[in-house]
């Protein structure tokens, strides 16, 4: 079970890093336009966008492998670890404020993940 949790931590971290890269890409992009020049210059040539795409594809391929290897009822609830990583990313990378209720929510998610991993 320890290996499963560690693998889920890695998969979830990859997924959240992909989302962080996507947020960084979107933060620097001008307003969206449906034109080839915009897509080429602002999407394809955008370092953070390409990083996001690579990380999100890797996270999904890793997820496919995990689905094949472990019981769905155990690994799917562990994807809620992404809420924790997402909140911490918001706090430390984007300097967003995190209230006490959010911290209580993180503790509850961690307790839930612990209970699921113990099964």
Q: Can you give the pLDDT at residue 38?
A: 86
Whether the per-residue pLDDT at 119 is higher than 90: the answer is no
Q: Which structural domain, as residue segments, surrounds residue 60? A: 2-118
pTM: 0.84
Q: For residue 116, which of 20, 42, 5, 3 has the smallest C-alpha distance? A: 5
Structural domains of the chain, count: 1
Q: Can you give the pLDDT at residue 62?
A: 97
Q: Can you give the pLDDT at residue 115?
A: 84
Virtual torsion, Cα 71, 105, 91, 45, nearest 10 deg = 40
Q: Which tens digit of pLDDT belongs to each residue from 9-55?
A: 999 999 999 999 999 998 888 888 888 888 888 888 899 999 999 99
Please tell me the distance from the alpha carbon of residue 58 to that of residue 3, in angstroms, as a whole number. Answer: 19
Q: Which tens digit of pLDDT belongs to each residue from 42-75?
A: 888 899 999 999 999 999 999 999 999 999 988 8
């Amino acid at each position: 079970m320890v290996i499963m949790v560690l693998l889920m931590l890695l998969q979830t971290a990859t997924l959240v890093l992909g989302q962080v890269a996507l947020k960084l890409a979107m933060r620097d992009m001008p307003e969206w336009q449906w034109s080839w020049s915009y897509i080429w210059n602002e999407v394809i040539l955008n370092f953070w966008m390409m990083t996001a795409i690579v990380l999100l594809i890797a996270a999904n391929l890793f997820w496919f492998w995990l689905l094949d290897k472990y019981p769905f009822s155990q690994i799917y609830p562990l994807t809620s670890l992404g809420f924790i990583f997402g909140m911490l990313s918001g706090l430390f990378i984007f300097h967003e404020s995190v209230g006490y209720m959010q911290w209580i929510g993180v503790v509850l998610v961690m307790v839930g993940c612990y209970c699921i991993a113990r099964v």
